[in-house]
Structure 1
Amino acid sequence: MQRRHLALMPAGLLAMPAIATAQEAERSQDLVQGFSRARLARFQPAMAREVERGSFNGCVALIARNGQIIHHEAYGHQDNARRVPMTREAIFLLASMTKPITSVAAMMLVEEGRMKIGDPITQWLPELRELKVMTRDGEVPLARPITVQDLLRHSSGFVYAASSPFPRIREMYEELDIEARRGPVPADEMLRRLGTVPLAFQPGAQFFYSISTDVLGLLLQRVAGQPLDQLIAERLTRPLGMTDTVWWVDAARRSRVAESIASDPLSTPMWNSYRIEQNPVPAGHFKGGAGLVGTSADYFRFAQMIANGGSFEGKRYLSAPTVNWMLSDHMGSMGGTPQASTGPGYGFGLGFAVRREQGISVAPGSPGDAMWAGAWGTSFTIDRAEKLVGVFMAQGPSSRMHTRMVFKNMVYGAMVESLRG
């Protein structure tokens, strides 16, 4: 019996690799770049629930790993009438997802020696030389100049009117139409008006989300000696192949613009202030913090370039050390938080929010991951530890915080193989 058992052993051992190979083949069919296809299929019912909830009419979700797009699907409809199915080619208002693009353009000029992030902005924007800081006891002088770094990390003391901590500053922003919500305001005139409004904080004292990147865009025009749209097109969108990322929507593209859900109370006032169907200049100016529109595929190319450490498809845009510098937390011990956009657990670098640690946050991610989002409902995440890029496009402003976290939860919920162990 013992000899018979031993005689059978080699055959059994030979069968085990065949069984393992079959199991691996079955498993590999269910996975793509460590993501479960079955779990990615959860997007369809989840996005249908969001449409039913009234978060948006439709959306586009894109996930890439190791530079390979593994999920790029459109859900719902593009229009309020629910007659036009959403497509992956739909165009969305990027709003504040313009900010990282403008910030990258700024760092390209830094790399060329055209400016330093420690430079005072009045070197190029003399209209802002007489700024004061508002306090509870009146206006006081600046303790130090506003720097380019302050514009990049929102520590300039500028605000958005709606969130101003001082009612008088809010009133002045609205009276002078600093944010050009009522109509176009030329660049030089915007700066002249802004130079008469006190800051809400001393430069470098507080992170406070603001028009800083709009001001940065105007500064870049003067540093480079060319309009911001040309600067961005020549350095980023055109070489990256971002063919639909533009400052205004011409007639040929209008049928692809995703409509913001009509039931959202923010849709109409925001649409009136963004005015994407007309060229901003010469009557107005290009908003470096909010002016672009684009597609999910376009934004993926930009985000993947950052995830790659500054290069994409054989062309280098930034050095790897510069990208690392941008995706480092530049807030230090200053007050304030980007929590209203990111949830807890994030600091802020140069144009990107940066996750500080594993815990605290309200959605999965990795320490050091970078993200930002737009007021209309768009968002992205770049997780270099997991070699992940995620882009979410929707037009539902009131639900934007909810939907960006739903997207992040679903992305990481479909990732069954982590690269971090």
Structure 2
Amino acid sequence: MVVGVTFPYAANAQAQLAQAGEDVAQGMSRERLDRIAGVMKQEVANGTFSGTVTLIARRGELVHFEANGFQDAAKTKPMAKDSIFRMASMTKPIVTVAAMMLVEQGVFKINDPIARYLPELKDLKVEVSRTNGDGTTTTEDLPANRAVTIQDLMRHTSGFFYGGAMKSKRLKDAYEQANIEAGEQDITGDEMLKRLGQIPLAYQPGTNFLYSISVDVLGLLVERATKKPLDVVLQEMVIGPLGMKDTAFWVPGEKASRLAEVLDSDPLKKLSLRFCRTESEIKMSYLKGGAGMCGTAEDYFKFLQMILNGGEYEGKRYLSKKTVEFMLQNHLVGMGGSTEASTGPGYGFGLGFAVRLQDGFGWSPGSKGDAMWGGIFGTSFTLDPKEKLLAIQLTQGATARLQSRHLFKNLVYGAMVE
């Protein structure tokens, strides 16, 4: 069984390989891994992001762990391996894992209607548009064909959405006016759910993948089901036991100097400042299960290695092997929609993770069944069970995030020689 990597070794992984004169570590070429630093430094020089932390592990051994560039937008403070990043949507897999742990404990089932725990969302309507014979469009709100389930939240087939990506101006305006996403003002979870229940869904539940606030809703459902705040649930079930010491919804004052910054020139800079504030500021609004956490590469490595190990890390089991397999299968069979805006072509979606559907179709190498996701501010990961590989890239380069994900994946798989 693969065990967890100890970071006293990990921090000096490449230096020790070089000292030993090894050309290949766990099937990864040291010479090719050395290319990563040069490419990352060039991206910093190009203004793609201020800096980055990159980490690669294969077969349970860390083979690459580096910090390049700068932590601050002014490019005066060198990036460090323990710099803290706004993880944004890389929060989603953590919350989904905690929810699946509750499924294993019998707290709820994934096919339970969410209204059983969130009655504010009981009688949801769906916006339906029809084109008339004269070319005009008629829009009406019809009852949902079936209830939204917990599985719908985990795989983004609920019909909820993100306002910024919504084509329907009516629905987009409704989210903004109701402050559903707590974009510029704080709102409690109870009030958000009350308002959300009055806004139509974009699609019938279970018919279409649409990236959305679904995992924010899942986080609130977890709170109701456990009668505990989301941060407490995650700390007790996942973050604390895994030893993710720098992962939280806020950055304590004594760690604030380690928080990486989005470039001033990036259009998403203002949005980034709503994340990873102080504890008192963050708790004025609902904790976003889909976007709210901050953390380090070392912390997220522990989480991903647990998934790669089939639910176990350093002697403690978090999920069963079969549950992990179930989460990394495609749950969108027969549905519409696409993950391409986040993954490029060739991916479906499981429970909390995008999953590669086939060989030979995509924008970068990988394996059928590999999993990935990323965050809006420039964080991303790849998890490849077939190759026993995980790779993490943390930047705060929001606008160029899709480009950066595939650039890094090319470098990772380009270093694999065995």
TM-score by length of 1: 0.91
Tell me the alpha carbon deviations over residues 189-214 of structure 1, each in whole angstroms, 9 at most, x when there is no partner. 01001011100000001000000000
Aligned to 1:145: 147
1:213-252 mapped onto 2 (5 Å cutoff): 213-252=215-254
Q: How far apart are residue 128 of structure 1 and its match? A: 0.8
Aligned to 2:70: 77
Aligned to 1:130: 123
| Partner amino acid, structure 2, of 1:102 | V
| Partner amino acid, structure 2, of 1:400 | R
CA distance 1:50–1:282, change in 2 (3 Å): closer
The alignment of Structure 1 onto Structure 2 pairs a total of residues equal to 391
Q: How far apart are residue 285 of structure 1 and its match? A: 1.0
1:44-55 mapped onto 2 (5 Å cutoff): 44-55=37-48
SS in 1 for 2:341: helix
Aligned to 2:103: 110
Aligned to 1:172: 174
Aligned to 2:363: 362
Aligned to 1:15: none
Q: Is the 8 A contact 1:378 1:393 kept in 2?
A: yes
Aligned to 1:60: 53
Q: Is the 8 A contact 1:206 1:334 kept in 2?
A: yes
Tell me the alpha carbon deviations over residues 348-390 of structure 1, each in whole angstroms, 9 at most, x when there is no partner. 0000000001111101100000110000000001101000010
Give the Cα separation in 1 of the matches to 2:87 and 2:54.
Answer: 15
Q: Which runs of 5+ in 1 are unaligned?
A: 1-25
Give the Cα separation in 2 of the matches to 1:382 and 1:282.
Answer: 32
Q: How far apart are residue 27 of structure 1 and its match? A: 11
Q: Larger helix proportion, structure 1 or 2?
A: 1
| Partner amino acid, structure 2, of 1:395 | Q
Q: Quick check: which has more Rg, 1 or 2?
A: 1
SS in 2 for 1:279: helix
Aligned to 1:340: 341
Give the Cα separation in 2 of the matches to 1:29 and 1:308.
Answer: 26
Q: How far apart are residue 295 of structure 1 and its match? A: 0.1
Give the Cα separation in 2 of the matches to 1:279 and 1:216.
Answer: 22
1:348-387 mapped onto 2 (5 Å cutoff): 348-387=349-388
Match of 2:112 among 103, 119, 132: 119
Give the Cα separation in 1 of the matches to 2:281 and 2:117.
Answer: 22
Q: How far apart are residue 272 of structure 1 and its match? A: 3.7
Aligned to 2:13: none
Give the Cα separation in 2 of the matches to 1:400 and 1:278.
Answer: 27
TM-score by length of 2: 0.92
SS in 2 for 1:215: helix
Tell me the alpha carbon deviations over residues 239-264 of structure 1, each in whole angstroms, 9 at most, x when there is no partner. 00000001101111100001111121
Aligned to 1:184: 186
Q: Is the 8 A contact 1:98 1:290 kept in 2?
A: yes
Aligned to 2:6: none
RMSD (Å) for aligned C-alpha atoms: 1.3
- 1:90 matched to 2:83? The reply is yes
**Identity fraction in percent:** 52
**Farther off after superposition, 280-289 or 143-152:** 280-289
Q: How far apart are residue 80 of structure 1 and its match? A: 1.9
Give the Cα separation in 2 of the matches to 1:277 and 1:399.
Answer: 27
| Partner amino acid, structure 2, of 1:258 | A
Aligned to 1:299: 300
Q: Is the 8 A contact 1:247 1:279 kept in 2?
A: no
Q: Is the 8 A contact 1:89 1:256 kept in 2?
A: yes
Give the Cα separation in 2 of the matches to 1:282 and 1:94.
Answer: 18
| Partner amino acid, structure 2, of 1:355 | R
Give the Cα separation in 2 of the matches to 1:408 and 1:163.
Answer: 26
